[in-house]
Amino acid sequence: MPNKFEVDPLATKAYTFAHGETLFTHMKMIHNQLSFFGIRYEGFVVSPRKALASNDWSRYEKLVDHHGVKNLSTSGACTVLAIRASTALEKDHPSKYDFKMYNVGRHRICRCLKTFVVIDSTSRNGAEIVPPGKEWPYGNNTFVWNANGHIKKTTAKGEPKKWISFEEGLATCLWEIAETVDLITLFRLTNEYGKRWTEALLWWVIDDDSHHSFAAKYLVLERKRGDENPQRVKAVEALVDSDDKLNSPKRRELWEADDCRLIHEHIWKALVKKYGFPVLKQGKKPDSYKGH
């Protein structure tokens, strides 16, 4: 099916570069919360959601104000990629681009008020041009911008909403990660021809212990996305160090960036200290895991 939106080549190049220079990871975002809120890793791995549940919105605003947008945008989730690509375009082409950030339901994107270009970390086509009045789908929802750059869900009542600041976007992202504690690291790569892809997924599942029993705590490692029978514990280095495709950044370099490896080791050591050494098994869920 043909793409319903035109693509901005210049913005797509910046989007592709941002895609390949950073991990999609929650590691540093969790670490920043633990450090700022004074929570030790040993306590975090016992009940991660409970450890972060007592922090209200104002504390996340203070966290972002303390670290600053630049320091919080070295690695991270959707919000970080949108910030990196849009700020790079504004820096190199200040008269052409003027990006604003929008919250589209647990997901942040940027859209240019001048060119109508959208930077969306989930886009397979690149930086699409979405003019005012044209419906833009994301997930199960559809959004539309007006001439002032305000956004509205097509099924929602009321007036369109204004954009949010980068600071609010980062605070929202941190808040959402604290709710789910999805400790995901996904390696995003590019090549010299502008192709983007993802591979090698590391996913910590650390549920809250109850007063009567230990909860599921394990590490899933998928060499390729969609692996139905991945190893749950193995040498992370073997996953990280395998050869990359032509002219793409090494996974090892991405893994070392922004202390991602060190934070992973903090989690690993805290779990070993509390629960003992892990064992190697196959599959996405442990034998005792019942799900929700």
C-alpha 191/C-alpha 27 separation (Å) is: 25
Calculate helix-pair angle for 57-67, 27-37, nearest 10 degrees: 100
- Residue 12: its pLDDT value, please? 96
The predicted pLDDT at position 190 comes to: 82
> Average pLDDT for residues 251-274, to the nearest whole number?
89
Compute CA distances 31 → 35, 36, 64, 288, whole Å: 6, 8, 13, 29
Query: What does pTM read for this prediction?
Result: 0.87
Query: For residue 289, what pLDDT is reported?
Result: 39
User: What is the phi-psi region of residue 226: left when phi exceeds 0, alpha when psi lies from -120 to 50, beta otherwise?
Assistant: left
**Would the pLDDT of 4 be above 90?**
no
Q: What is the pLDDT of residues 56-100, one digit of tens each?
A: 899 999 999 999 999 999 898 999 999 999 999 999 999 999 999
Segment holding 60, helix H or strand E: helix 57-67
- Whether the pLDDT of residue 292 is over 60: the answer is no
pLDDT of amino acid 5: 94
Tell me the two tokens of residue 41: 């890793």
Residue 246, token pair as written in the block = 């032509």
Determine the average pLDDT of the residues in 235-246: 55
Q: Which amino acid, residue 217?
A: K
Average pLDDT over residues 27-49: 96
Q: Would you kindly state where each structural domain of the chain is located, as residue ranges?
A: 9-172, 181-275
Is pLDDT of 235 > 60?
no
